[in-house]
């Protein structure tokens, strides 16, 4: 039965949204030197209150566009020493690689008068997925409504930062240190109906800028082309139609010879402030123009040249089956899978399941997998590790509480060795768990 669980984890087909565990938006996609594709989104905190509550950036990665790994949280407003005292307002970020370092850029206000005090913060790490440390903000950029940093490093090694909102888009050339700007900030010329969400990429010697327009209540994503990274730009039209969210924001990246559009929708929550990230292929015409992206929800086959998953480092934790839950129920952990582990897990019954002696391996840095079933459109639970809250988790409809097709994962720090207690508590909906798995995370 263990083999059955592991086979299901290795998906052969993608789906949209491709991240279901948390609500995410504004995806910035990059391919780094290790050959994986990484996405740096913002995080819509649940329960919904609005964009002022956005916080706690995560990173996601894949090598086949179907199986995604939640690399864990890399930064929150509490890590920003210069930031707004009450936190929140961690909006659309981006990341760049240069000089052997990863530079994570994020907009954040420095004052309670948030829209007048935007700054572009920078955190730096030797890893694309962890140990980011705030190094302050970029002097000379930001200000009223100036948000959404996007970075582009050209073939000659020069770095550029694009940012803007409220109808203004500007570019600043970055110094070699990637945390300061060189010369004047330039307004972008030639963009039509710019609103926000700038993104720049290069293809066949041409520079493309994508951005959100001012289409009332449901933005399009548009694009323009130039032969210079600082413009002027030649407007070409819309490449992504509205996604039923109040705002639209996306990125474009080449991976393994194909081009992809990343964007967000509200398909999971049906609330514009609880968004989820998606991807679909982009088709370019012979003249370099982009066709309008076909937005799918059933997804695409995984990339065939991706390596097979090595399961030698994975440990499976199942539990005895429980027919009914009355009040608080602690479920005994077993060392091997024994079937569905929890039935009728509901918030009103204060239901929970506990796994003890979970292995954190030598490092304590693990990838936790959760296998579930639910008949609810969107059930919710919370994860506690060693009695400390770690994360909320969405559990998306699988067909019934007996249909164990659901899988979510997250990377987290636990105690090294078999010393960990993982507790999953019901928050909303009706669901059951088949098992959890842990594997030591290496990056």
Residues noted as catalytic: 26, 196
59: helix, coil or strand?
strand
Q: What does the alpha-carbon distance between residue 376 and residue 394 come to, in Å, rounded to a whole number?
A: 11
Burial class (CB in 10 A: 0-12, 13-18, 19+), 353: buried
Q: What does the alpha-carbon distance between residue 16 and residue 304 come to, in Å, rounded to a whole number?
A: 19
Indicate the length of the chain as a whole number: 443
Q: What share of the chain is helix, strand, coil (3-state, %, to 5)?
A: 5, 45, 50
Query: CA dihedral defined by 406, 412, 416, 422, rounded to 10 degrees?
Result: -50
Token pair 């329960």: residue: 47
CB atoms within 10 A of CB 46: 18
- Most distant CA pair in the chain: distance in Å? 68
Strands 251-255 and 258-265: antiparallel
| 232 Cβ contact partners less than 8 Å away, ≥ 6 residues apart | 188, 189, 190, 226
- The angle formed by the CA atoms of residues 99, 102 and 106, to the nearest 5 degrees, is 130
C-alpha separations of 101 from 26, 63, 125 in Å: 23, 21, 6
């Amino acid at each position: 039965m263990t083999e059955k669980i592991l086979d299901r984890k290795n998906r052969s087909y993608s789906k949209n949204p491709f991240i279901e565990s948390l609500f995410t938006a504004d995806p910035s996609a990059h391919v780094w030197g290790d050959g994986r594709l990484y996405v740096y989104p913002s995080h819509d905190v649940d329960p919904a209150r609005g964009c002022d509550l956005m916080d706690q950036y995560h990173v996601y990665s894949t090598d086949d566009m179907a199986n995604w790994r939640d690399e864990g949280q890399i930064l929150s407003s509490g890590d920003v020493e210069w930031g707004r005292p009450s936190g929140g307002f961690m909006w659309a970020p981006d990341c760049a690689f240069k000089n052997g370092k990863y530079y994570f850029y994020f907009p954040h206000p420095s004052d309670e008068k948030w829209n007048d005090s935007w700054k572009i913060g920078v955190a730096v790490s030797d890893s694309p997925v962890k140990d980011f440390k705030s190094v302050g903000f970029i002097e000379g950029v930001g200000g009223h409504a100036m948000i959404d940093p996007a970075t582009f490093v050209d073939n000659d090694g020069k770095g550029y930062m694009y940012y803007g909102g409220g109808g203004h888009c500007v570019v600043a050339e970055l110094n070699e240190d990637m945390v300061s700007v060189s010369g004047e900030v330039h307004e972008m010329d030639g963009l039509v109906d710019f609103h926000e969400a700038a993104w720049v990429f290069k293809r066949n010697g041409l520079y493309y800028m994508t951005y959100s327009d001012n289409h009332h209540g449901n933005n399009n994503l548009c694009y323009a082309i130039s032969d210079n990274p600082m413009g002027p730009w030649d407007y070409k039209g819309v490449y992504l139609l509205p996604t039923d969210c109040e705002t639209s924001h996306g990125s474009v990246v080449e991976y393994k010879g194909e081009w992809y559009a990343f964007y967000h929708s509200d398909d999971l929550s049906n609330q514009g402030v609880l968004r989820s990230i998606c991807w679909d292929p982009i088709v370019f015409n012979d003249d370099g123009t982009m066709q309008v992206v076909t937005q799918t929800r059933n997804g695409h086959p995984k990339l065939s040249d991706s390596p097979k998953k090595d399961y030698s480092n994975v440990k499976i934790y199942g539990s005895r089956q429980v027919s009914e839950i009355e009040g608080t129920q602690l479920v005994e952990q077993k060392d091997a899978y024994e079937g569905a582990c929890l039935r009728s897990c509901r918030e009103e019954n204060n239901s929970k399941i506990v796994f003890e002696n979970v292995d954190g391996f030598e490092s304590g840095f693990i990838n936790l997998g959760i296998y579930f079933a639910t008949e609810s459109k969107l059930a919710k639970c919370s994860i506690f590790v060693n009695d400390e809250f770690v994360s909320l988790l969405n559990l998306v409809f699988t067909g019934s509480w007996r249909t164990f097709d659901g899988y979510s994962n997250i990377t987290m720090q636990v105690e090294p060795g078999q010393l960990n207690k993982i507790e999953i508590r019901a928050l909303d909906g009706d669901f059951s768990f088949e098992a959890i798995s842990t594997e030591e995370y290496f990056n």
